[in-house]
């Protein structure tokens, strides 16, 4: 195979294409998506809009309404279950774990069930409340769990345990 120089320092093969031309043979890159804080993603080619602000609230990882794919009802957040005499260390460990998941507003009562008529937001609150309730129930002894299982919110369970064991 005979090589020639193209005058720019690149070798030409028999077909006459240079090594510099090989990069142009790849397909174009897909559009790049940019994220804006507090808003929907926008692409170089298209712009998307959400039909409701609650949808972006539910999808925003920093929101208390967001459920990560690793969150499950069987999740154990602390290594030692509440037995009654270990409330101080248990509640501290639980608050740290729930803080990491941005779920403290569900136990301190600051994130109440929305009075909004938006079913997505209401359903998201219900799922998150149930997830936190489940995490609490999984982290207490069986006797304690039986005494709080009929509460309707994570906040109710948290306050009940606080009043009894603090």
Per-residue pLDDT tens over the stretch 74-131: 777 888 999 989 999 999 999 999 999 999 999 999 999 998 778 999 999 999 999 9
Name the more confident of 51 and 165.
165
pLDDT 10s digits, 125-156: 999 999 999 999 999 999 999 999 999 999 99
Q: Coil, strand or helix: which one is 94?
A: helix
Name the least confident of 1-15, 61-75, 103-117. Answer: 1-15
pLDDT tens per residue across span 14-55: 454 444 544 445 455 455 444 444 444 443 333 333 345 556
**Residue with token string 């926008």:** 42
User: Mutual orientation of helices 154-165 and 119-137 as an angle, nearest 10°?
Assistant: 30
Q: Where are the domains of the chain?
A: 4-30, 51-165
Using CB atoms within 10 A of its CB, is residue 129 exposed (0-12), middle (13-18) or buried (19+)? Answer: buried
CB count, 10 Å around CB of 61?
7
What does pTM read for this prediction?
0.64
């Amino acid at each position: 195979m005979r090589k020639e120089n193209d005058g720019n320092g690149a070798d030409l093969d028999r077909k006459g294409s240079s090594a510099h031309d090989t990069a142009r043979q790849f397909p174009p890159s897909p559009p790049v998506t940019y994220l804006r804080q507090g808003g929907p993603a926008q692409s170089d080619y298209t712009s998307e809009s959400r039909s409701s602000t609650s949808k972006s609230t539910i999808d925003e990882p920093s929101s208390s309404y967001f459920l990560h794919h690793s969150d499950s009802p069987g999740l154990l957040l602390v290594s030692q279950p509440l037995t009654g005499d270990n409330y101080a260390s248990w509640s501290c460990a639980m608050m740290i774990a729930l803080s990491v998941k941005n779920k403290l507003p569900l136990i301190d009562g600051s994130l109440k069930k929305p009075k909004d008529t938006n079913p997505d937001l209401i359903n998201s609150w219900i799922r998150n409340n149930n997830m936190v309730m489940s995490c609490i129930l999984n982290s207490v002894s069986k006797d304690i769990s039986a005494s709080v299982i009929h509460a309707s919110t994570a906040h109710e369970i948290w306050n009940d345990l606080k009043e009894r064991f603090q």
